[in-house]
Structure 1
Protein backbone atom coordinates (compact mmCIF):
# COMPACT_ATOMS: atom_id res chain seq x y z
CA UNK A 1 0.00 0.00 0.00
CA UNK A 2 1.41 3.46 -0.91
CA UNK A 3 2.59 5.61 1.97
CA UNK A 4 0.27 8.52 2.71
CA UNK A 5 3.06 11.12 2.70
CA UNK A 6 5.63 9.37 0.51
CA UNK A 7 8.62 11.70 -0.03
CA UNK A 8 6.79 14.71 1.41
CA UNK A 9 9.27 17.25 2.75
CA UNK A 10 8.31 18.10 6.32
CA UNK A 11 9.66 20.36 9.07
CA UNK A 12 8.62 19.56 12.65
CA UNK A 13 9.67 21.92 15.42
CA UNK A 14 9.70 20.92 19.07
CA UNK A 15 10.59 17.43 17.88
CA UNK A 16 12.74 16.39 20.84
CA UNK A 17 9.89 15.16 23.03
CA UNK A 18 6.17 14.84 23.51
CA UNK A 19 3.83 15.93 20.74
CA UNK A 20 6.63 17.01 18.39
CA UNK A 21 8.34 13.66 18.64
CA UNK A 22 5.04 11.84 17.99
CA UNK A 23 4.36 14.03 14.95
CA UNK A 24 7.84 13.30 13.61
CA UNK A 25 7.34 9.57 14.00
CA UNK A 26 3.87 9.66 12.43
CA UNK A 27 5.07 11.46 9.30
CA UNK A 28 8.14 9.24 8.99
CA UNK A 29 5.97 6.13 9.23
CA UNK A 30 3.97 7.45 6.28
CA UNK A 31 7.05 7.93 4.11
CA UNK A 32 7.85 11.61 4.71
CA UNK A 33 11.33 13.09 4.82
CA UNK A 34 11.26 14.90 8.16
CA UNK A 35 13.66 17.53 9.41
CA UNK A 36 13.39 17.61 13.20
CA UNK A 37 14.15 20.96 14.90
CA UNK A 38 14.48 21.69 18.60
CA UNK A 39 16.65 23.48 21.14
CA UNK A 40 17.23 20.15 22.93
CA UNK A 41 20.03 18.45 20.97
CA UNK A 42 20.08 15.40 23.25
CA UNK A 43 16.35 14.82 22.85
CA UNK A 44 16.59 15.26 19.09
CA UNK A 45 18.95 12.29 18.91
CA UNK A 46 15.99 10.08 19.85
CA UNK A 47 13.56 11.60 17.33
CA UNK A 48 12.60 8.45 15.46
CA UNK A 49 12.48 8.55 11.68
CA UNK A 50 13.92 12.01 11.04
CA UNK A 51 16.29 12.29 8.09
CA UNK A 52 17.91 15.42 9.55
CA UNK A 53 18.11 16.97 13.01
CA UNK A 54 19.02 20.55 13.79
CA UNK A 55 19.44 22.06 17.26
CA UNK A 56 18.64 25.78 17.40
CA UNK A 57 16.80 28.44 19.36
CA UNK A 58 13.59 28.77 17.38
CA UNK A 59 12.86 32.20 18.82
CA UNK A 60 15.88 33.59 16.94
CA UNK A 61 14.81 34.72 13.48
CA UNK A 62 18.18 34.50 11.75
CA UNK A 63 18.86 30.96 12.98
CA UNK A 64 15.41 29.78 11.87
CA UNK A 65 15.79 31.30 8.41
CA UNK A 66 19.22 29.73 8.01
CA UNK A 67 18.00 26.19 8.80
CA UNK A 68 14.82 26.49 6.72
CA UNK A 69 16.86 27.71 3.73
CA UNK A 70 19.26 24.82 4.26
CA UNK A 71 16.40 22.35 4.10
CA UNK A 72 14.79 23.97 1.07
CA UNK A 73 18.07 23.69 -0.83
CA UNK A 74 18.86 20.16 0.33
CA UNK A 75 15.38 18.74 -0.31
CA UNK A 76 14.37 20.88 -3.27
CA UNK A 77 11.44 22.42 -1.42
CA UNK A 78 9.23 22.27 1.66
CA UNK A 79 5.74 20.79 1.62
CA UNK A 80 4.64 20.82 5.27
CA UNK A 81 5.58 22.84 8.35
CA UNK A 82 4.36 21.69 11.76
CA UNK A 83 5.12 24.05 14.65
CA UNK A 84 5.05 22.05 17.87
CA UNK A 85 7.67 24.05 19.78
CA UNK A 86 6.37 25.76 22.90
CA UNK A 87 5.57 24.84 26.47
CA UNK A 88 5.88 26.57 29.81
CA UNK A 89 9.70 26.72 29.94
CA UNK A 90 9.83 25.34 33.47
CA UNK A 91 7.47 27.93 34.93
CA UNK A 92 4.54 27.34 37.27
CA UNK A 93 1.41 29.33 37.96
CA UNK A 94 1.83 32.30 40.31
CA UNK A 95 0.29 35.74 40.86
CA UNK A 96 0.69 38.28 38.08
CA UNK A 97 2.54 40.64 40.44
CA UNK A 98 5.43 38.15 40.59
CA UNK A 99 6.02 37.91 36.82
CA UNK A 100 9.09 39.66 35.45
CA UNK A 101 9.95 40.64 31.89
CA UNK A 102 12.21 37.65 31.22
CA UNK A 103 9.59 35.13 32.39
CA UNK A 104 7.00 36.69 30.09
CA UNK A 105 9.20 37.00 27.04
CA UNK A 106 10.71 33.50 27.12
CA UNK A 107 7.25 31.92 26.89
CA UNK A 108 6.25 34.18 24.01
CA UNK A 109 9.51 33.36 22.27
CA UNK A 110 8.94 29.63 22.56
CA UNK A 111 5.23 29.54 21.75
CA UNK A 112 4.61 32.44 19.37
CA UNK A 113 7.78 33.85 17.86
CA UNK A 114 9.10 30.39 16.97
CA UNK A 115 6.04 29.83 14.79
CA UNK A 116 6.19 33.32 13.31
CA UNK A 117 9.79 32.95 12.14
CA UNK A 118 9.29 29.40 10.83
CA UNK A 119 6.25 30.45 8.81
CA UNK A 120 8.03 33.55 7.54
CA UNK A 121 10.91 31.42 6.29
CA UNK A 122 8.97 28.44 4.90
CA UNK A 123 5.90 30.06 3.35
CA UNK A 124 7.70 31.73 0.42
CA UNK A 125 9.14 28.34 -0.58
CA UNK A 126 5.64 26.85 -0.51
CA UNK A 127 4.11 29.81 -2.34
CA UNK A 128 6.56 29.47 -5.21
CA UNK A 129 5.46 25.83 -5.54
CA UNK A 130 1.79 26.82 -5.34
CA UNK A 131 1.03 24.44 -2.49
CA UNK A 132 1.85 23.76 1.14
CA UNK A 133 0.56 23.04 4.61
CA UNK A 134 1.28 24.88 7.85
CA UNK A 135 -0.05 23.35 11.07
CA UNK A 136 0.44 25.05 14.43
CA UNK A 137 -0.04 23.53 17.86
CA UNK A 138 -2.13 25.84 20.00
CA UNK A 139 -3.80 24.62 23.19
CA UNK A 140 -7.04 24.65 25.08
CA UNK A 141 -5.22 27.52 26.79
CA UNK A 142 -5.53 29.43 23.53
CA UNK A 143 -9.31 29.25 23.73
CA UNK A 144 -9.94 29.74 27.46
CA UNK A 145 -7.95 30.35 30.66
CA UNK A 146 -5.07 27.93 31.13
CA UNK A 147 -5.09 25.03 33.59
CA UNK A 148 -1.41 25.88 34.15
CA UNK A 149 -2.31 29.22 35.71
CA UNK A 150 0.53 30.80 33.70
CA UNK A 151 -0.61 34.15 32.29
CA UNK A 152 2.05 34.32 29.58
CA UNK A 153 1.25 30.82 28.36
CA UNK A 154 -2.45 31.44 27.79
CA UNK A 155 -1.72 34.87 26.29
CA UNK A 156 0.84 33.38 23.88
CA UNK A 157 -1.48 30.57 22.84
CA UNK A 158 -4.36 33.00 22.26
CA UNK A 159 -1.97 35.04 20.12
CA UNK A 160 -0.95 31.89 18.23
CA UNK A 161 -4.60 31.21 17.37
CA UNK A 162 -4.85 34.74 15.96
CA UNK A 163 -1.59 34.37 14.04
CA UNK A 164 -2.78 31.09 12.53
CA UNK A 165 -5.94 32.72 11.19
CA UNK A 166 -4.01 35.71 9.88
CA UNK A 167 -1.51 33.49 8.08
CA UNK A 168 -4.40 31.63 6.47
CA UNK A 169 -5.76 34.89 5.09
CA UNK A 170 -2.35 35.79 3.68
CA UNK A 171 -1.23 32.43 2.29
CA UNK A 172 -4.31 30.41 1.28
CA UNK A 173 -4.76 32.25 -2.00
CA UNK A 174 -1.33 30.91 -2.96
CA UNK A 175 -2.24 27.29 -2.21
CA UNK A 176 -0.84 27.21 1.34
CA UNK A 177 -3.31 26.32 4.08
CA UNK A 178 -2.76 27.20 7.74
CA UNK A 179 -4.62 25.44 10.54
CA UNK A 180 -4.10 24.71 14.22
CA UNK A 181 -4.63 21.80 16.58
CA UNK A 182 -5.58 22.79 20.13
CA UNK A 183 -4.78 19.89 22.48
CA UNK A 184 -6.47 19.30 25.79
CA UNK A 185 -4.49 17.78 28.67
CA UNK A 186 -1.89 15.53 27.04
CA UNK A 187 0.45 13.66 29.35
CA UNK A 188 3.48 13.58 27.09
CA UNK A 189 6.52 15.27 28.62
CA UNK A 190 8.14 16.17 31.97
CA UNK A 191 6.27 19.50 32.21
CA UNK A 192 2.84 17.91 31.78
CA UNK A 193 3.83 15.14 34.19
CA UNK A 194 4.76 17.72 36.85
CA UNK A 195 1.46 19.49 36.32
CA UNK A 196 -0.45 16.21 36.58
CA UNK A 197 1.37 15.24 39.78
CA UNK A 198 0.66 18.67 41.30
CA UNK A 199 -3.10 18.11 41.02
CA UNK A 200 -2.98 15.21 43.49
CA UNK A 201 -5.44 12.30 43.42
CA UNK A 202 -8.57 14.41 43.91
CA UNK A 203 -7.62 16.99 41.29
CA UNK A 204 -6.65 14.27 38.84
CA UNK A 205 -10.01 12.58 39.30
CA UNK A 206 -11.85 15.87 38.72
CA UNK A 207 -9.90 16.54 35.54
CA UNK A 208 -10.56 13.10 34.08
CA UNK A 209 -14.24 13.41 35.04
CA UNK A 210 -14.45 16.65 33.03
CA UNK A 211 -13.27 14.86 29.86
CA UNK A 212 -16.07 13.13 27.94
CA UNK A 213 -13.79 10.27 26.90
CA UNK A 214 -12.70 9.83 30.54
CA UNK A 215 -8.99 9.62 29.72
CA UNK A 216 -6.05 11.95 29.26
CA UNK A 217 -4.75 12.69 25.81
CA UNK A 218 -1.79 10.97 24.21
CA UNK A 219 0.76 12.59 21.94
CA UNK A 220 -0.39 10.25 19.17
CA UNK A 221 -3.91 11.70 19.39
CA UNK A 222 -2.51 15.08 18.43
CA UNK A 223 -0.28 13.63 15.70
CA UNK A 224 -3.32 12.05 14.02
CA UNK A 225 -5.03 15.46 13.89
CA UNK A 226 -1.92 17.08 12.44
CA UNK A 227 -1.78 14.49 9.65
CA UNK A 228 -5.44 15.21 8.89
CA UNK A 229 -4.68 18.89 8.27
CA UNK A 230 -1.56 18.02 6.27
CA UNK A 231 -3.35 15.59 3.96
CA UNK A 232 -4.05 16.72 0.37
CA UNK A 233 -7.71 15.84 0.99
CA UNK A 234 -7.90 18.77 3.46
CA UNK A 235 -7.19 21.34 0.74
CA UNK A 236 -10.38 23.36 1.38
CA UNK A 237 -9.84 23.55 5.13
CA UNK A 238 -7.88 26.56 6.31
CA UNK A 239 -7.91 29.07 9.15
CA UNK A 240 -9.44 26.48 11.48
CA UNK A 241 -8.69 25.59 15.12
CA UNK A 242 -9.45 21.95 15.95
CA UNK A 243 -9.87 21.12 19.63
CA UNK A 244 -8.50 17.64 20.32
CA UNK A 245 -9.37 17.28 23.97
CA UNK A 246 -11.55 14.23 24.43
CA UNK A 247 -14.65 16.44 24.62
CA UNK A 248 -13.70 18.49 27.67
CA UNK A 249 -16.69 20.00 29.49
Structure 2
Protein backbone atom coordinates (compact mmCIF):
# COMPACT_ATOMS: atom_id res chain seq x y z
CA UNK A 1 0.00 0.00 0.00
CA UNK A 2 1.55 3.30 -1.10
CA UNK A 3 0.38 6.38 0.75
CA UNK A 4 0.31 9.11 -1.87
CA UNK A 5 0.54 12.85 -1.21
CA UNK A 6 1.56 13.82 -4.73
CA UNK A 7 1.57 17.60 -5.24
CA UNK A 8 -0.16 18.33 -1.95
CA UNK A 9 1.28 21.18 0.08
CA UNK A 10 2.29 19.98 3.54
CA UNK A 11 3.36 22.50 6.18
CA UNK A 12 5.59 20.89 8.82
CA UNK A 13 6.22 23.03 11.90
CA UNK A 14 9.25 22.19 14.01
CA UNK A 15 10.92 20.70 10.95
CA UNK A 16 14.63 21.34 11.44
CA UNK A 17 15.57 18.13 13.23
CA UNK A 18 14.34 14.99 14.96
CA UNK A 19 10.69 14.10 14.46
CA UNK A 20 9.96 17.10 12.25
CA UNK A 21 12.84 16.37 9.88
CA UNK A 22 11.75 12.74 9.59
CA UNK A 23 8.20 13.87 8.77
CA UNK A 24 9.56 16.14 6.04
CA UNK A 25 11.48 13.24 4.49
CA UNK A 26 8.45 10.93 4.67
CA UNK A 27 6.13 13.46 3.03
CA UNK A 28 8.62 14.22 0.26
CA UNK A 29 8.97 10.49 -0.41
CA UNK A 30 5.18 10.35 -0.78
CA UNK A 31 5.29 13.06 -3.45
CA UNK A 32 4.25 16.09 -1.42
CA UNK A 33 5.50 19.64 -1.69
CA UNK A 34 6.72 20.60 1.77
CA UNK A 35 7.00 23.94 3.55
CA UNK A 36 9.36 23.30 6.48
CA UNK A 37 9.15 25.84 9.30
CA UNK A 38 11.34 26.18 12.37
CA UNK A 39 12.95 28.80 14.60
CA UNK A 40 16.38 27.29 13.77
CA UNK A 41 17.71 28.65 10.43
CA UNK A 42 20.89 26.57 10.49
CA UNK A 43 18.89 23.39 10.98
CA UNK A 44 16.62 24.35 8.09
CA UNK A 45 19.63 24.98 5.85
CA UNK A 46 20.94 21.50 6.64
CA UNK A 47 17.49 20.04 5.93
CA UNK A 48 17.31 21.82 2.57
CA UNK A 49 20.76 20.52 1.64
CA UNK A 50 19.52 16.95 2.17
CA UNK A 51 16.28 17.54 0.25
CA UNK A 52 16.90 19.95 -2.65
CA UNK A 53 13.60 19.28 -4.47
CA UNK A 54 10.00 20.23 -3.60
CA UNK A 55 11.10 21.72 -0.27
CA UNK A 56 10.77 25.33 0.85
CA UNK A 57 11.98 26.47 4.25
CA UNK A 58 11.03 29.39 6.47
CA UNK A 59 12.74 30.37 9.72
CA UNK A 60 10.39 32.13 12.11
CA UNK A 61 8.96 32.12 15.61
CA UNK A 62 5.62 30.33 15.46
CA UNK A 63 4.43 32.11 18.59
CA UNK A 64 4.46 35.38 16.60
CA UNK A 65 1.01 35.60 14.97
CA UNK A 66 2.10 38.31 12.52
CA UNK A 67 5.01 36.23 11.22
CA UNK A 68 2.75 33.19 10.90
CA UNK A 69 0.14 35.21 9.01
CA UNK A 70 2.78 36.41 6.54
CA UNK A 71 4.00 32.84 6.09
CA UNK A 72 0.55 31.44 5.32
CA UNK A 73 -0.72 34.27 3.11
CA UNK A 74 -1.55 33.00 -0.36
CA UNK A 75 -0.60 29.39 0.40
CA UNK A 76 -3.09 26.55 -0.07
CA UNK A 77 -1.90 24.34 2.78
CA UNK A 78 -3.60 20.96 2.47
CA UNK A 79 -1.85 19.19 5.35
CA UNK A 80 -0.62 20.82 8.56
CA UNK A 81 1.65 18.81 10.84
CA UNK A 82 2.58 20.58 14.05
CA UNK A 83 5.73 19.03 15.52
CA UNK A 84 7.08 22.15 17.22
CA UNK A 85 7.33 22.42 20.98
CA UNK A 86 9.42 20.46 23.44
CA UNK A 87 10.69 21.53 26.84
CA UNK A 88 12.62 24.59 25.59
CA UNK A 89 15.79 23.66 27.41
CA UNK A 90 14.12 23.53 30.82
CA UNK A 91 14.73 21.04 33.61
CA UNK A 92 12.35 19.85 36.32
CA UNK A 93 11.97 22.01 39.41
CA UNK A 94 9.45 22.26 42.28
CA UNK A 95 6.18 23.88 41.25
CA UNK A 96 6.74 26.79 43.62
CA UNK A 97 9.92 27.66 41.70
CA UNK A 98 8.30 27.70 38.24
CA UNK A 99 8.25 31.26 36.89
CA UNK A 100 5.60 32.78 34.65
CA UNK A 101 8.20 33.05 31.89
CA UNK A 102 9.17 29.36 32.17
CA UNK A 103 5.52 28.32 32.02
CA UNK A 104 4.66 30.55 29.07
CA UNK A 105 7.72 29.55 27.02
CA UNK A 106 6.69 25.89 26.99
CA UNK A 107 2.95 26.47 26.67
CA UNK A 108 3.34 28.96 23.83
CA UNK A 109 5.72 26.74 21.84
CA UNK A 110 3.51 23.67 22.15
CA UNK A 111 -0.05 25.05 22.11
CA UNK A 112 -0.18 28.70 21.06
CA UNK A 113 2.02 28.00 18.03
CA UNK A 114 -0.39 25.28 16.94
CA UNK A 115 -3.34 27.63 17.36
CA UNK A 116 -1.63 30.35 15.31
CA UNK A 117 -1.13 27.97 12.40
CA UNK A 118 -4.53 26.29 12.55
CA UNK A 119 -6.43 29.57 12.49
CA UNK A 120 -4.72 30.55 9.26
CA UNK A 121 -4.84 27.29 7.30
CA UNK A 122 -8.42 26.30 8.19
CA UNK A 123 -10.24 28.87 5.97
CA UNK A 124 -8.55 27.46 2.85
CA UNK A 125 -9.26 23.89 3.93
CA UNK A 126 -12.91 24.77 4.43
CA UNK A 127 -13.09 26.33 0.97
CA UNK A 128 -11.61 23.17 -0.58
CA UNK A 129 -13.78 20.93 1.65
CA UNK A 130 -10.82 18.79 2.66
CA UNK A 131 -7.78 19.00 4.87
CA UNK A 132 -5.59 17.19 7.35
CA UNK A 133 -4.32 18.60 10.65
CA UNK A 134 -1.95 16.49 12.75
CA UNK A 135 -0.46 17.50 16.07
CA UNK A 136 2.48 15.82 17.73
CA UNK A 137 1.48 15.48 21.35
CA UNK A 138 3.18 12.97 23.65
CA UNK A 139 2.58 10.21 26.11
CA UNK A 140 2.87 13.19 28.49
CA UNK A 141 -0.45 14.39 27.07
CA UNK A 142 -2.16 11.25 28.34
CA UNK A 143 -0.46 10.70 31.69
CA UNK A 144 2.15 12.36 33.92
CA UNK A 145 5.39 13.20 32.13
CA UNK A 146 8.73 11.46 32.57
CA UNK A 147 10.33 14.89 32.16
CA UNK A 148 8.87 16.03 35.47
CA UNK A 149 8.20 19.44 33.89
CA UNK A 150 4.71 20.62 34.86
CA UNK A 151 4.27 23.06 31.99
CA UNK A 152 5.24 20.43 29.40
CA UNK A 153 2.77 17.88 30.72
CA UNK A 154 0.01 20.51 30.94
CA UNK A 155 0.73 21.82 27.45
CA UNK A 156 0.61 18.37 25.88
CA UNK A 157 -2.70 17.63 27.62
CA UNK A 158 -3.97 20.96 26.24
CA UNK A 159 -2.80 20.03 22.74
CA UNK A 160 -4.74 16.78 22.95
CA UNK A 161 -7.83 18.71 24.05
CA UNK A 162 -7.44 21.19 21.21
CA UNK A 163 -7.07 18.33 18.73
CA UNK A 164 -10.29 16.67 19.84
CA UNK A 165 -12.27 19.90 19.97
CA UNK A 166 -11.15 20.92 16.49
CA UNK A 167 -12.03 17.48 15.14
CA UNK A 168 -15.60 17.98 16.33
CA UNK A 169 -15.77 21.49 14.90
CA UNK A 170 -14.14 20.87 11.53
CA UNK A 171 -15.37 17.43 10.52
CA UNK A 172 -18.37 18.83 8.65
CA UNK A 173 -15.95 20.59 6.31
CA UNK A 174 -14.07 17.44 5.34
CA UNK A 175 -11.14 18.26 7.64
CA UNK A 176 -9.70 15.60 9.95
CA UNK A 177 -7.74 16.51 13.08
CA UNK A 178 -5.67 13.86 14.86
CA UNK A 179 -2.64 13.60 17.10
CA UNK A 180 0.35 11.29 17.28
CA UNK A 181 1.69 10.70 20.80
CA UNK A 182 5.30 9.50 20.79
CA UNK A 183 6.88 7.67 23.67
CA UNK A 184 10.36 8.67 24.80
CA UNK A 185 12.74 9.44 21.90
CA UNK A 186 16.32 10.67 21.98
CA UNK A 187 15.58 13.36 19.42
CA UNK A 188 16.98 16.55 20.94
CA UNK A 189 19.68 17.74 23.33
CA UNK A 190 17.00 18.09 26.02
CA UNK A 191 15.86 14.48 25.75
CA UNK A 192 19.39 13.18 25.28
CA UNK A 193 20.34 14.91 28.52
CA UNK A 194 17.36 13.26 30.20
CA UNK A 195 18.42 9.84 28.89
CA UNK A 196 22.01 10.29 30.01
CA UNK A 197 20.73 11.36 33.43
CA UNK A 198 19.47 7.83 34.05
CA UNK A 199 21.88 5.28 35.41
CA UNK A 200 22.70 2.28 33.17
CA UNK A 201 20.28 0.32 35.31
CA UNK A 202 17.62 2.99 34.84
CA UNK A 203 18.07 2.92 31.07
CA UNK A 204 17.72 -0.86 31.12
CA UNK A 205 14.55 -0.64 33.21
CA UNK A 206 13.07 1.84 30.76
CA UNK A 207 13.79 -0.43 27.79
CA UNK A 208 12.44 -3.47 29.61
CA UNK A 209 9.26 -1.54 30.32
CA UNK A 210 8.60 -1.15 26.58
CA UNK A 211 6.93 -4.11 24.89
CA UNK A 212 9.11 -3.74 21.77
CA UNK A 213 12.26 -3.48 23.93
CA UNK A 214 13.59 -0.40 22.16
CA UNK A 215 13.16 3.35 22.12
CA UNK A 216 11.24 4.91 19.28
CA UNK A 217 12.84 6.55 16.26
CA UNK A 218 11.72 9.69 14.43
CA UNK A 219 10.84 7.52 11.44
CA UNK A 220 8.28 5.64 13.55
CA UNK A 221 6.44 8.90 14.23
CA UNK A 222 6.75 10.08 10.65
CA UNK A 223 5.16 6.89 9.32
CA UNK A 224 2.13 7.39 11.56
CA UNK A 225 1.81 10.99 10.40
CA UNK A 226 1.95 9.97 6.75
CA UNK A 227 -0.91 7.54 7.27
CA UNK A 228 -3.06 10.16 9.03
CA UNK A 229 -2.27 12.67 6.26
CA UNK A 230 -3.31 10.26 3.52
CA UNK A 231 -6.67 9.50 1.93
CA UNK A 232 -6.63 6.15 3.75
CA UNK A 233 -7.33 7.98 7.01
CA UNK A 234 -10.25 10.03 5.70
CA UNK A 235 -12.74 8.69 8.27
CA UNK A 236 -10.44 8.93 11.29
CA UNK A 237 -10.65 12.12 13.35
CA UNK A 238 -10.25 13.29 16.92
CA UNK A 239 -7.97 10.37 17.72
CA UNK A 240 -4.68 10.24 19.61
CA UNK A 241 -2.42 7.53 18.23
CA UNK A 242 0.26 6.47 20.72
CA UNK A 243 3.44 5.45 18.93
CA UNK A 244 5.35 4.14 21.89
CA UNK A 245 6.17 0.50 21.17
CA UNK A 246 3.87 -0.40 24.02
CA UNK A 247 0.16 -1.19 24.59
CA UNK A 248 -0.01 1.97 26.74
CA UNK A 249 1.17 5.52 26.00
Q: What's the TM-score, normalizing by structure 1?
A: 0.95
Residue 30 of structure 1 deviates from its aligned partner by 1.4
Matched, 1:78 2:77: yes
Number of the residue aligned with 1:123: 122
Residue 200 of structure 1 deviates from its aligned partner by 2.1
Residue 3 of structure 1 deviates from its aligned partner by 7.3
* Structure 1 residues 117-157: Cα deviation after superposition (integer angstroms, max 9, x where no partner): 11111111111101010000000000000000000000000
Listed as ranges, the matches of 1:1-249 within 5 Å are 4-47=4-47, 48-49=50-51, 51-70=55-74, 72=75, 77-247=76-246
Native 8 Å contact 2:135 2:180 kept in 1: yes
Native 8 Å contact 2:16 2:38 kept in 1: yes
* Structure 1 residues 162-214: Cα deviation after superposition (integer angstroms, max 9, x where no partner): 00001111111101100000000112222211111011211111111110000
Partner secondary structure for residue 46 of structure 2: coil
Aligned equivalents of 1:149, 1:3: Cα separation in 2? 37
Count of residues paired in the alignment: 244
Cα distance change on mapping 1:200 and 1:79 into 2, 3 Å: same
Higher relative contact order (CA 8 A, sep 6+): 2
Aligned equivalents of 2:97, 2:138: Cα separation in 1? 24
Aligned equivalents of 2:181, 2:2: Cα separation in 1? 29
Aligned equivalents of 2:41, 2:223: Cα separation in 1? 25
Native 8 Å contact 1:39 1:56 kept in 2: yes
Which aligned segments of 4 or more residues in structure 1 are displaced greater than 6 angstroms?
none
Residue 248 of structure 1 deviates from its aligned partner by 5.7
Residue 31 of structure 1 deviates from its aligned partner by 1.1
* Structure 1 residues 37-58: Cα deviation after superposition (integer angstroms, max 9, x where no partner): 0000111112243621101110
Partner secondary structure for residue 199 of structure 2: helix
Native 8 Å contact 2:3 2:227 kept in 1: no
Cα distance change on mapping 1:223 and 1:2 into 2, 3 Å: closer
Q: What stretches of structure 1 of length at least 5 have no aligned partner?
A: none
Native 8 Å contact 1:184 1:248 kept in 2: no
